[in-house]
Amino acid sequence: MAVERTLSIIKPGAVAKNLIGKIITRFEEEGLQIIAARMIHLTPEQAQAFYAVHRERPFYPELVAYMTESPIIALVLEGENAIARNRDLMGATDPSKAMPGTIRGDFAKSITRNTVHGSDAPETAATEIAFFFSQADLCPRAC
Ligand code: GDP
């Protein structure tokens, strides 16, 4: 297994409900290291660009509206197999199908308001990390 980096977003509804600490605790207790963190209130243009892969989908306007309603926390998580481990912690995209004990299973309200984002592959992780962070923003523990 390789050490990977993945982008996590704590979405607006979770930030608004003071769930930042509870969600970050799940990452840390899993042994993933937070090597970058940033709070940002996305503009519509930024949210559209981040989710551009979904621009033809019917839920795209609702997704962009949700992601811009209040600030998010963007995080870079690092660890062995971090991409899949973060996806396991997150649970299924649709919270009604997410297992109890997962972040979405425990905190999410709907498929749009589903608490967290996590990269799904090494290529998307690299692109998504670069969307929010420069190389100088990343602070791996070995530094
Ligand atoms: P993820 O990787 O689990 O976040 O899922 P996707 O990359 O497929 O979708 C991105 C985001 O779009 C999801 O986290 C949801 O917030 C939203 N989304 C995906 N599929 C649907 C859907 O069928 N309906 C609605 N309303 N939103 C969706």
Mean pLDDT computed over 108-137: 98
- One of 13, 117, 128, 133 is an active-site residue; which one? 117
Q: Is the pLDDT of residue 143 over 70?
A: no
Gap from CA of 35 to ligand 1 centroid (Å) = 26
For the CA of 87, the nearest atom of ligand 1? 3
What tens digit of pLDDT does each residue of 29-76 get? 999 999 999 999 999 999 999 999 999 999 999 999 999 999 999 999
Q: What is the DSSP string of 12-48?
A: HHHHHTT-HHHHHHHHHHHT-EEEEEEEE---HHHHH
pTM of full prediction above 0.85: yes
Q: Could you tell which of 109, 111, 117 is best to mutate to test the pocket of ligand 1, judged by most ligand atoms within 8 Å of the CB?
A: 111
| DSSP E strand stretches across 28-100 | 33-40, 72-80
pLDDT at 22: 98
pLDDT at 97: 98
For the CA of 113, the nearest atom of ligand 1? 16
117 catalytic? Reply is yes
Task: Say which residues have a Cβ less than 8 Å from residue 90's Cβ, sequence separation at least 6.
Answer: 98, 102, 103, 104, 115, 116, 118
What tens digit of pLDDT does each residue of 75-102 get? 999 999 999 999 999 999 999 999 999 9
